Structure 1
Amino acid sequence: MKTKEILEKLLSFQTVSLSPNMELIHFIKNLLADHNVEVQIIGEETGTRANLYATIYGTELTAETASTGGVVLSGHSDVVPVAGQNWTVEPFALTEKDDKYYGRGTADMKGFLASAIRTCLIASKQPLKTPLHLAVSFDEEIGCVGVRHLIERLKDAPMKPHFCLIGEPTSLGVATGHKGKTALRATCTGLEGHSAMAPNFLNALHLGADLIKALQDLQSDFAENGAQDHDYDIPYSTIHVGKMSGGVALNIVPNKCILDFEIRNLAADKPEDIIQRIKNAAEIITFNAKEKADCADIKIEVVNSYPGLDTNPGADIVSFVKSLRGENKNFKIAFGTEGGLFDQVLNIPTVVCGPGSMDQGHKPDEFVSIQQIQLCDEMLDRLVERLIEGLSPSQRC
């Protein structure tokens, strides 16, 4: 099958995060199984969503004769919602116009998955000396949730891949890093009462506002005095409040406020240290508020987190992927991936390189250019050629 045909099929599956993805997973499994590819389905508890992990040995290798773990191509099956967006094309179908493929996930990141699946089909018919793997995960968009099941399975694998290439959209540039992310929730407790006597009570929204101010001050400190990495457009760790909720009626002083916020940290900044600073600030706010109400409280909990990626620009994986692309430059990206999990949990050197741009991701009329897909196919064709030759000794370490 051609990449366009595979992409058209992948787009038809409405795999919005937290929605079932089994139809898509079984489509890939059946396609690969027809080509004598070893496929594992690694699911979560409900049985509605799963990861797929495939190994391609080609016409000569076997699990017993493979002397190196090879290369894994990794991507996610889920996409962000289209609700509330003004699409001019059908989001869950492929529309080709103006030398672009339109549809939800074309850039982020079913375009890469389609190219990777095509590559697996081609590799299955070749005399590989080094195996190729495909990892397809679920619920990446909500914090790299699904891939953790796959990571746990790979921990016990007799032979792990030596390199990981994550195909998130980088316009096919070679990205060596991204910040880590920690999602947190603060629950602020105040004392309710009639708004006509508001000063006698403790407004939980005001507690939340005080915490937001503390987070803003901490953000300013990162920008002015914190660690800096100028490979990023924003070279310091950031804190962002995305949601604030609370209150029942205008004439009631609210007793509950919830803040959802996130930390995106540089490799030099440990998220646990940042969280402790936030908790210290919350304790000061709470201590002062208890003068008005003993029930004053701010509880902070971690909702989700994944580590950053910080691959050494001199690492073999970087020069290897650059050679596939004919690239001389590398950079770091603003958005997160499962790369830090492959790198830190499994010790697999990882880079991010895929077709399209995140400038088009998460928007209505999302697209990837046909040229980018063609260039991705060419890059992965060169990967297959290298796997037929076999990785050099330095690339196996």
Structure 2
Amino acid sequence: MPADGERLGALDILERLVSFDTESSRSNVALIDWVCAYLDGWGVPYARVPNAAGDKQAVFATIGPMVDGGVVLSGHTDVVPVTGQSWTTDPFKLRIADGRAYGRGAVDMKGFDALCLALVPTALQADLTRPIHILLSYDEETTCLGVADTIARFGADLPRPGAVIVGEPTDLEVADAHKSVVTYLTTVHGHEAHSAKPMLGANAVMAAADLVSELNRIADMMIARGDPSGRFDPPNTTVHVGTIDGGTARNILPKLCAFHWEFRGLPGLDLAEIPALFAEKAEAVARERLNRYGPYGRIETIEEVAVPGLAPEPGSEAERLALRATGRNRTISVPYGTEAGRFQAAGISTVVCGPGSIDQAHQPDEYITLDALERGGAFLRQVLAECTR
């Protein structure tokens, strides 16, 4: 544990954060314990926000006046798995070499978390007119729901912020837009029979094929609709089937067929549109194919993850703050999902802006450059300066 008032540099903190194996399937509580001990050492007030099971926690810390209108620096503590990846060294032991800091989560996004925590002693000495909040969450890599319980407390027992900067790696470009990500598992339940007598059952695989064809049709429709903003690559909402599994043998009508699918929607897409089109087709397939010879089958679809998109809000408080702090004069879009849309959905101005490149995320030998960390620290100090005016 850190000593009381121990001033640690960003690399020292990053070394400690990387040492905790916080893959999304694991608990992050040991890491949060360390962070809270660090905050205690500086006398910074904070709230722990556990999940329902109690095996994961977010922490929300406040520096400055305990009032509404502050700035949240938001980062996640979970990381993607290392299983099956070829790492040169232990992924949970920070390695410094060739101007880079290597380790799982170094860029996505424990580097940003470390910079925020390293800022604490400087922030405590600043004459803040509005608070700086540090929010470290969990489950960003799976559901982006790790911030939800904290957001629900804004304006109740926690101050309601005026702006949020989500520190995902953007090379310190200011991102004001990304697509939504919604994923599903569809399971077709048929009825087994000899393939020579299809009228005695229901073929789950052939019904699933009809549904996948419908997703192809919807995908083509979204391509044709395009991206009126011209800001996204690819320039349209995408629809994708990632896995499909079903059947026992070539001469048995398959009892089950399941497939995972998703869509990544442009900001402004009605998130109910694609599932409604799919549900309409599923009803027809169940009626016309699965149950053609009797009440043999059914189709069920479960929504697994729904990450809201981030829509541009030109001139918003978060945008203006981040542009001033980075010295940029334009915003960008990013191709990946983040927690930013959850803050925006709660009515809080939000952008994505952090050090390092997403190109290094999720890779074996993941790294953030020391230069990116230095520039990220300068960015946060400028954000801090904006909160003293």
Contact 1:263–1:271 (Cα < 8 Å) also in 2:
no
Structure 2 residue corresponding to 1:13, chosen from 11, 20, 25: 20
Q: How many angstroms apart in 2 are the aligned matches of 1:196 and 1:9?
A: 63
Q: How many angstroms apart in 1 are the aligned matches of 2:98 and 2:249?
A: 51
Shift of 1:196: 6.1
Q: How many angstroms apart in 2 are the aligned matches of 1:315 and 1:84?
A: 42
Map of 1:107 onto structure 2: 107
Contact 1:189–1:256 (Cα < 8 Å) also in 2:
yes
Map of 2:116 onto structure 1: 116
* Structure-2 change in CA distance of 1:93 and 1:338 (3 Å): same
- The SS at the match of 2:359 is coil
Map of 2:37 onto structure 1: 30
Shift of 1:275: 0.9
Range 276-285 or range 313-322, more displaced: 313-322
Fraction of identical pairs, as percent: 35
| Number of aligned residues | 381
Map of 1:47 onto structure 2: 54
Shift of 1:215: 0.3
Shift of 1:250: 5.4
- The SS at the match of 2:358 is coil
Q: How many angstroms apart in 2 are the aligned matches of 1:122 and 1:135?
A: 17
Shift of 1:54: 0.3
Shift of 1:198: 6.1
TM-score normalised over the length of structure 1: 0.91
Shift of 1:178: 0.8
Q: How many angstroms apart in 1 are the aligned matches of 2:242 and 2:52?
A: 29
Q: How many angstroms apart in 2 are the aligned matches of 1:265 and 1:170?
A: 20
Letter in 2 for 1:383: V
Q: How many angstroms apart in 1 are the aligned matches of 2:17 and 2:158?
A: 31
Q: How many angstroms apart in 2 are the aligned matches of 1:158 and 1:117?
A: 20
Q: How many angstroms apart in 2 are the aligned matches of 1:220 and 1:170?
A: 30
- The SS at the match of 2:119 is helix
Letter in 2 for 1:212: V
Q: How many angstroms apart in 2 are the aligned matches of 1:300 and 1:100?
A: 44
- The SS at the match of 1:282 is helix
- The SS at the match of 1:286 is helix
Q: How many angstroms apart in 1 are the aligned matches of 2:229 and 2:283?
A: 31
Q: How many angstroms apart in 2 are the aligned matches of 1:242 and 1:156?
A: 41
Shift of 1:237: 1.1
Range 151-160 or range 18-27, more displaced: 151-160
**1:168-190: CA deviations, max 9, x gaps?**
01111100011112221211111
Structure 2 matches for 1:232-311, cutoff 5 A?
232-249=232-249, 252-289=252-289, 290-311=291-312
- The SS at the match of 2:72 is strand
Contact 2:226–2:235 (Cα < 8 Å) also in 1:
no
Q: Structure 2: where are the runs of 5+ without partners?
A: 1-7
Contact 1:70–1:163 (Cα < 8 Å) also in 2:
yes
Q: Structure 1: where are the runs of 5+ without partners?
A: 391-397
Q: How many angstroms apart in 2 are the aligned matches of 1:116 and 1:11?
A: 15
Structure 2 matches for 1:103-182, cutoff 5 A?
103-157=103-157, 159-182=159-182
TM-score normalised over the length of structure 2: 0.93
**1:23-69: CA deviations, max 9, x gaps?**
10011111011111111101012221101000011xxxx43xx4x52
Shift of 1:195: 4.8
1:204 and 2:204 matched: yes
Range 354-363 or range 77-86, more displaced: 354-363
Q: How many angstroms apart in 2 are the aligned matches of 1:131 and 1:89?
A: 40
